[in-house]
Structure 1
């Protein structure tokens, strides 16, 4: 006999199950069971996956949920909730189930668990079967408490909520003592009350062996320690037991197992998937969606013609109108006008409210209707963009506009949509975060009590082992296989062994539920009439289905993407407009012509920092070789710079043919009509469609079907369309062999061809950013730094690049800086918003207070701001950053006076308050009088190194100086080269070099050697051949940054390279084998710079004033010098007031080790800039 599991938790019962749906259904099908239920806690996250897996395995899905039910109405305080298991018997029951789940989640108290009350359940129980629940069910719980009467009353009450015959007493026997206690009582209760009873297993894992991993996963979710492995678990029987095992557990009570089959037979829910339910657009009275859509499209095209006239763009208006009418006809025929109306409405609302919107994304940029409605901003006709690539009249599928918005204001557009269509009809989409390899190890290690250093060490080893591997080979097992040291760790430690074994079991489990970054859905009615709904952290509706499942369920998804580059462009254009003189023509980036030579030149020179799409080294190298000169080159570049085309060398062929170094060939003269713009190379998917149209007479709808078949490598479809293509081509005079060859060429490249519409739209953003950088560099860099202020690495690079371009970047200043980076007299002023640890509230308060005048001192600043917003931490951050330097005191003095300034501000406030409440307040004139500023000396003097370290801590980099500055004079004598010099291929070209022959006897890469003084800003390792490791260092000096490699042979330098101390390096400088025209650096020797300087500088120069030389000071100085004894001579330059300076040579007793420690100690004792090597 069979058995149907009716109480099953999958991994979507987050942190409470290790069971995957695919494994569940596969196992059930293997047993030949007719059905299985899915009853996760308070959700239907897995319902669509469950449906599809069951359909594939020919197993009936039973949709259910284990829900928490409260005895009092939601909103009232409830001390206790109980579990109840709900199963959908009919489609109406399924609708009631998703409503109940939605209400349970949406009405849950903030931070509380989802639950429903019995009144809501009773009102929506039609079509549902209720089971009394597990041990936390009200009936079983009352029996465990020994309250028999309560148990009977609870069972009667539960039965009353459901239709007759739709409530069952749930009996479990999963190895717990409590199960054996209540089982006979539950069976007796069911008989006494004439309620049906049914056997279930509280399934949480697939096999009994998974019980330990499940216990660890639960501990991770609860944040508690897991049991030691030698301690017995309460049970290992919450597994997906076989029908025979279940009948054995319920021996003597087989009727309870038979009841599972009867219930399964009753449950017959049919979900209709894949049918889109388009929301309706609110149209004015007397109109419908079709007429409004057509009218707006025609009006929009007329407006575009007017704009063309302003910029002198001449077009064939008849051509545009004919294409528009054709597209309108297709949209109307496919019943999509409402979709277009919805999208144009929220996009145009955003534009009216100055929210930047991208020019287009995806195949939608090929639609003239979209361009006319201002959904997109790239004219598809000049660039031969195809509407049928977006919407194919011969294949019904939903249109899909992905829209880029300003990343900072995307939320405003979503709020507008919710207000327009109703908050109950609009929601965002769930996304499921799963445990990745390292995350699983860290979580498991924490609950198993593995020492954190051991976990860190293993995770670091995993990082190295998994680097560069494909995404589907990034697991714990892959890391162990790749690095024998991990297996050795397991062999040496039972605890580490358990951690890594368990991590493999829980890896991939759902760890948390979040919100999709872009997806928004709009329902025809309330969302919960379509899908189950949860609640986001901000109270927003969130579908319980992910982006794929929500569309299968019928909801239409709109992607609201945030693109930082749009935010940057808007900020840049605002800075440009703010800097225009009165009467100058307003700046409009949308009207800038696409033929600016400087824009193309800057890309072709490789100056691509901040230019959209172009910043990677590979893309930059391609653009340097390409030397783009027209907009079509930018479109092609976006399509060519992808793994497929790069692997086939398509980019090289395009570049060589563009510059005339390779002949342009066409296999048939008619191909020139389509491929001339890409020099005979098939670059775009649209070209495959156009070749089919021109050569074989395909309609563009047929051509799109062929493109899809080729892109998906669908052999059957390709064979079918191949015959049609060849027949059509031959009919039009193409030789059969030529037709065959062209078709195979198309098939080869179609797999890698890119969507031209998307490439054109993104190419426009590329051009716009290049134009701004080439023509408005100060505003461009200020906007770029603002957009990336949170990314320290990028800010460091951009500031250096701005300086290399001759631009000045000024440090932050409480009196001059704005929130963002700003432009002041042709210079870039650091923004307060880029200071780490300084919140927006503090910045708002500073800027507001500053409106009354500049701050004159620290005491003045603290006295004028709200201390709750500009608190001690904010003041200390400001001082560290150098933003308070304009207040007239050194940073160490300001730091030491923060408490005094806060105390004085509090005292003055008390005096003001006292004066206000005094009967004679009007006469208390002294109460509000300003006291003179009185700074105490610095408690601890900051050395130059400490000051710069503090600056880097809060800014992420150095602005007012650099750790190498204090070695400037010494470095001039040491013949070190700047990184900028070493990276320049001209250095290698002009330096004495050597070339070792390669294995084939050919000359190897040129190499030379040079010295550099640097700091290491990043150090990481990765494995290379034969188990060796390679260190990758990012070096920095005053001229910029450069990457250098370090190999196992040089491992003795690893500790130095992992420090932040200034270093002297001996570098091998050679031709980069990976990128032609680039230079590669290898570290061959490393030494602390202070030690190298000391070797080369036999003298320390110390400046003193005569008035400093008290007996105590002289003793302290002598003690300090003796403590740092070494080989360097000491010269003291003593300044005597009125007499001048005298140099004193110290005796052999005071020779010193002239290192960083001594110089820092001297600066603290004597004062900054008093000690120098010379």
Structure 2
């Protein structure tokens, strides 16, 4: 057996350089017989925990290290980077700057801590995305580290090029700092020109100085075939093509993980370099990343340093007497629940954990008070609300982390706390957006910046990024690439099969370069692209976090990211605190405050009637656009069938339209059984086995909640707490399906022991595995169901205030502002255009309507709007256009002023919009905006869309615009001032609103302007109740949402809207294949199909889907309308008889949400 261990390997976490996943490297190492493997990604430990967990579980010793970038000690003008000639760029990363690389391995825990500090320093003291260390910084922290001199970009090679004396001096500095035996001269032989000469020179240097040598492979992919992908990644990183990146790419395919035998052949002349790899690996056994981190959650230091358990008991008892006073219906059960949970807390030593959370919640109250100011109504609201499994805990309820009584709602605790838990419980808290931002800063200040970090996430290559970046790197035709990016949805059969399915691209399958593209697309799919910030996770540590995981700056100034994602943090047993921003909480806070300001009352949402029949009637009718969690197309249709009548029903409703219950086949059986119970109270609910009745009784024999998975496994298969805990952890991780499948044998054997036959066990287990897709625990569903009801109650009782909050807190939920505005009008709440003398910065309630805020107009923003509103409040309304232009700050550019004019913001002055635009140009003059601003303005308004605004301004007659001191209006005549222009048409106003407000704020519905030009035989949604079931119909509408859930077997769901209401269309896979381009890209569609009626639910089963703009009626119009894009000097393309121009304008610049997506979700 050859003594060799690879000590220098890069994974895909060497972003856009390594071409294999950590687990691929580990698996290949095992195939080749390696006893150990080091992962040494560039300037980071991003994949180290994932690698260590995978390797350790399979008997491979993982070695933790990194390749650090050093600023060249020899950088000077005219220097040529080591290993290159003046005319040839090097292939190694960082060569373009002359930076050097060294390889650093952690021998023990002290070394690992120093490695984390070095990586952190490289990131924190360098420009973002360009980490590097000075040599002196490296030499300051040698303890516990083994230093390999580096690859072809090593500082030793750079020194050798300057002379032997320089190299000996540098080697001596490194040896003196790290100590004898901790510095190794790294030799590499990848069949690259010059490798043998470099190896001889480095070996001779090492022998003279008696420094040991070590062989490494500088691995960048696990098998040689992956070299093509590595070439692609290099081209992408350098923003060029493969053809133009020859000198940037590695020269051959010899940077794979070679076998020990192959490495022995490469280094036959230096067997000592091979033996030393095994010796180093043995030394690194002293540190195990999976067990030796030394992480501790901060200790609780309150109440005079009394024992944490005593303090927690005191806090809970005080709240208990308030929540469950003597005589309370649930007091006895709550006493038992509290005693049980406190016992679990003591057993797992979690008292300090809960008290730190209590401390953070008190900190949140302080932050909320600062953010809310003197607002009495908002001060009455809690600073945040719990979500997830923590809502099931009476401890969380009593210390204020949850707002749901788990005893009253009968919530299962086992998913949150249990006897066998191996990691700390997960507590997620939702906050209003403004509170969350300030709270994160406050946590940094409370616990120290060295002790707090945000959890990261790694965006990966998905279809569109794959197609666009790979297509560019391979120099494929831009038109084909863009078409494929917009239409591709490759399945298990891959990109080549997808090319065959897309009209116009079928012939590409005969091209060799396109076949290469398809192969590389499968290899790159899922690889990480870069580091990003997790939605809300924070890590707090009593020990400096910088010694446990490297940190680097977040895009959010003043925050830092740790280099591990949530799964790695979980494996490290970190306590992750999730501070999540929930837009609906911001809406509720704003609505409550607006209600108080307008009506002098403060609704107490904790005391409203949660059995209100009227609210449930409206929910059951599907009138839920803009409501929390129950507004999607699927939810609306399910509401009409399930018909929830209380909060328990609403919790089921929130949870049932999720991939877990859908894939598990729970939805239709639940709906049918509920309907049968409604019609026959004596109906007996069937169960797959009698043992499941207790666990599944409330959901009528099917699994809907995630915690029911654990209950089912215990009841049917006799799972222990430990097995159930493992199952819980598996469900919450990436690739959870594979993990869950690993429990089948234990499940089958356990079920058999309880007398359950094989087919029944498999049927139930398939439902269990379905929850690898995603499902809600009951506690989470109850918390969200409560908020769903509160949102429905607020909208019903205070509609203007609710819609104001909805407008001001976008993005949120499922629908665009366009759809929300039309829904508001259906509920009697008008939407008023911005008004210079009435509007505030944000939207406000005005009588029974919503007044659009100035800050929503394109090019304004909150800061400019605040200045204008402050000026108006100080010196009174603006009396005229000149008065406004004199008093408005110079920061408000001409484009912004014209945008406000276009959307009616100055209509109250009594002057036509085009006249106002003309006068604005006369007042400000053409020099008031730069050429770049003019191009941006014309692009924003559209030469063809809003091009008829005014003739060119009067050739430089005015000055350069306003100063901060304003201008004095001269009483001089102007020969052009009396010119008057045609008024704006309704269609033109609508286009302006879409482009400058992103939605139609006026009363016009798009189809009201083109209704007489719709395709022949088109029926409106208003006629659906009168048409027979299975009628053949043609419908048309503006697309609100398109969905293709992966749980729907290839079916597409399109939600459209015509002038009278929503139109739901269902598209079969074969129709989608024929009409894919229209379905994915067109904002206006007409559909031929069959009307399906199920009570009050209407669907159109599509037989054909077509672009509305290509209907024969609109084509005829197009031929008769002048196709001009010039300004007023020529024909106006916005005559009301031209719906085609309207449709074309919106097709070029549609409302923001008119795009393909899976829809839904709470944001």
Determine if the TM-score, normalized by the shorter chain, exceeds 0.5.
Answer: yes
Q: Distance in 1 between matches of 2:148 and 2:639?
A: 66
**1:981 equivalent in alignment to 2:1003:** no
**2:535 matched to which residue of 1?**
517
**1:27 matched to which residue of 2?**
28
* Richer in strand (by share): 1
Among residues 798, 801, 811, which one is paired with 2:820 in the alignment?
798
**1:881 equivalent in alignment to 2:903:** yes
Among residues 324, 349, 353, which one is paired with 2:338 in the alignment?
324
SS in 1 for 2:430: strand
In structure 2, the CA distance between the partners of 1:952 and 1:702, relative to structure 1 (3 Å rule), is closer
Q: Distance in 2 between matches of 1:1077 and 1:405?
A: 37
What per-residue deviation string (whole Å, max 9, x for no partner) do you get for residues 573-594 of structure 1?
222222214xxx4222122131
Among residues 412, 421, 439, which one is paired with 2:465 in the alignment?
439
Q: Conserved in 1, the CA contact under 8 Å of 2:913 and 2:983?
A: no
In structure 2, the CA distance between the partners of 1:963 and 1:255, relative to structure 1 (3 Å rule), is same
Q: Conserved in 2, the CA contact under 8 Å of 1:1043 and 1:1081?
A: no
**1:339 matched to which residue of 2?**
353
* Greater length-normalized contact order (CA 8 Å, ≥ 6 residues apart): 2
Q: Conserved in 1, the CA contact under 8 Å of 2:1078 and 2:1105?
A: no
TM-score by length of 1: 0.79
Q: Conserved in 2, the CA contact under 8 Å of 1:73 and 1:117?
A: no
* Deviation of the 1:522 alpha carbon: 0.4
Among residues 218, 221, 232, which one is paired with 2:234 in the alignment?
218
In structure 2, the CA distance between the partners of 1:152 and 1:862, relative to structure 1 (3 Å rule), is same
**1:93 matched to which residue of 2?**
111
Q: Distance in 1 between matches of 2:965 and 2:832?
A: 43
In structure 2, the CA distance between the partners of 1:1164 and 1:783, relative to structure 1 (3 Å rule), is farther
What per-residue deviation string (whole Å, max 9, x for no partner) do you get for residues 244-279 of structure 1?
322322333333333323333333233263686322
**1:958 equivalent in alignment to 2:1000:** yes
**1:848 equivalent in alignment to 2:889:** no
Among residues 644, 658, 675, which one is paired with 1:656 in the alignment?
675
Whose Rg is larger? Answer: 1
* Deviation of the 1:951 alpha carbon: 2.2
What per-residue deviation string (whole Å, max 9, x for no partner) do you get for residues 553-584 of structure 1?
23211122222222222222222222214xxx
Among residues 177, 190, 195, which one is paired with 1:179 in the alignment?
195
The range that moved more, 809-818 or 1032-1041, is: 1032-1041
Q: Conserved in 1, the CA contact under 8 Å of 2:1005 and 2:1059?
A: no
**2:526 matched to which residue of 1?**
508
Q: Distance in 1 between matches of 2:831 and 2:723?
A: 54
Q: Distance in 1 between matches of 2:346 and 2:71?
A: 50
What per-residue deviation string (whole Å, max 9, x for no partner) do you get for residues 881-915 of structure 1?
32232233222223333333335998899999999
SS in 1 for 2:42: coil
Among residues 996, 1010, 1030, which one is paired with 1:1006 in the alignment?
1030
**2:603 matched to which residue of 1?**
587
* Deviation of the 1:927 alpha carbon: 6.0
**1:427 matched to which residue of 2?**
453
* Deviation of the 1:451 alpha carbon: 2.9
Q: Distance in 1 between matches of 2:282 and 2:105?
A: 12
In structure 2, the CA distance between the partners of 1:750 and 1:851, relative to structure 1 (3 Å rule), is same
* Deviation of the 1:800 alpha carbon: 1.6
**2:166 matched to which residue of 1?**
150
In structure 2, the CA distance between the partners of 1:800 and 1:1081, relative to structure 1 (3 Å rule), is farther
Q: Conserved in 1, the CA contact under 8 Å of 2:330 and 2:407?
A: no
Q: Conserved in 2, the CA contact under 8 Å of 1:6 and 1:36?
A: yes
**1:1070 equivalent in alignment to 2:1091:** yes
**1:546 matched to which residue of 2?**
565
- Mapping for residues 1014-1025 of structure 1, pairs under 5 Å: none
**1:67 matched to which residue of 2?**
68
* Deviation of the 1:167 alpha carbon: 1.2
**2:890 matched to which residue of 1?**
867
The range that moved more, 753-762 or 630-639, is: 753-762
- Mapping for residues 758-837 of structure 1, pairs under 5 Å: 758-788=780-810, 794-837=816-859
In structure 2, the CA distance between the partners of 1:709 and 1:428, relative to structure 1 (3 Å rule), is closer
Q: Conserved in 1, the CA contact under 8 Å of 2:220 and 2:230?
A: yes
SS in 2 for 1:409: helix
What per-residue deviation string (whole Å, max 9, x for no partner) do you get for residues 919-950 of structure 1?
xxxxxxx9688989995646897555444322
**1:247 equivalent in alignment to 2:292:** no
Q: Conserved in 2, the CA contact under 8 Å of 1:1045 and 1:1082?
A: no
**1:51 equivalent in alignment to 2:57:** no
**1:387 matched to which residue of 2?**
413
Q: Conserved in 1, the CA contact under 8 Å of 2:1082 and 2:1107?
A: no
Among residues 876, 881, 884, which one is paired with 1:858 in the alignment?
881
**1:488 matched to which residue of 2?**
507
**1:1038 matched to which residue of 2?**
1059
Among residues 511, 520, 536, which one is paired with 2:554 in the alignment?
536
Q: Distance in 1 between matches of 2:1067 and 2:759?
A: 50
Q: Distance in 2 between matches of 1:723 and 1:1051?
A: 46
Q: Distance in 2 between matches of 1:1006 and 1:525?
A: 68
In structure 2, the CA distance between the partners of 1:163 and 1:975, relative to structure 1 (3 Å rule), is closer
Q: Distance in 2 between matches of 1:1167 and 1:641?
A: 46
**1:1120 matched to which residue of 2?**
none
Q: Distance in 1 between matches of 2:627 and 2:579?
A: 22
What per-residue deviation string (whole Å, max 9, x for no partner) do you get for residues 355-401 of structure 1?
76554322211211211111100111222223344211354542211
Q: Conserved in 1, the CA contact under 8 Å of 2:594 and 2:801?
A: yes
**1:189 equivalent in alignment to 2:209:** no
Q: Distance in 1 between matches of 2:223 and 2:142?
A: 34
In structure 2, the CA distance between the partners of 1:1158 and 1:743, relative to structure 1 (3 Å rule), is closer
Q: Distance in 2 between matches of 1:657 and 1:859?
A: 71
Q: Distance in 1 between matches of 2:639 and 2:1043?
A: 29
SS in 2 for 1:125: coil
**2:545 matched to which residue of 1?**
527
* Deviation of the 1:980 alpha carbon: 3.2
SS in 2 for 1:573: helix
TM-score by length of 2: 0.80
SS in 2 for 1:803: helix
Q: Distance in 2 between matches of 1:1046 and 1:687?
A: 33
**2:915 matched to which residue of 1?**
893
SS in 2 for 1:882: coil
Q: Distance in 2 between matches of 1:701 and 1:1166?
A: 75
* Deviation of the 1:521 alpha carbon: 0.4
SS in 1 for 2:25: helix
* Deviation of the 1:512 alpha carbon: 0.9
Q: Conserved in 2, the CA contact under 8 Å of 1:835 and 1:954?
A: yes
* Deviation of the 1:740 alpha carbon: 12
SS in 1 for 2:314: helix
Among residues 369, 386, 399, which one is paired with 1:360 in the alignment?
386
Q: Conserved in 2, the CA contact under 8 Å of 1:435 and 1:510?
A: yes
**1:350 matched to which residue of 2?**
364
In structure 2, the CA distance between the partners of 1:603 and 1:755, relative to structure 1 (3 Å rule), is same
**1:453 equivalent in alignment to 2:479:** yes
| Unpaired stretches in structure 1, ≥5 consecutive residues | 727-735, 916-925, 990-1004, 1097-1123, 1125-1152
In structure 2, the CA distance between the partners of 1:179 and 1:900, relative to structure 1 (3 Å rule), is farther
What per-residue deviation string (whole Å, max 9, x for no partner) do you get for residues 12-62 of structure 1?
111111132222222222222332222211111121122123224423222
Q: Conserved in 2, the CA contact under 8 Å of 1:88 and 1:267?
A: yes
Q: Distance in 1 between matches of 2:964 and 2:273?
A: 78
**1:234 equivalent in alignment to 2:251:** yes
* Deviation of the 1:831 alpha carbon: 3.0
In structure 2, the CA distance between the partners of 1:41 and 1:854, relative to structure 1 (3 Å rule), is same
Q: Conserved in 2, the CA contact under 8 Å of 1:37 and 1:63?
A: yes
In structure 2, the CA distance between the partners of 1:36 and 1:304, relative to structure 1 (3 Å rule), is same
SS in 1 for 2:298: coil
* Deviation of the 1:633 alpha carbon: 1.5
* Deviation of the 1:763 alpha carbon: 1.4
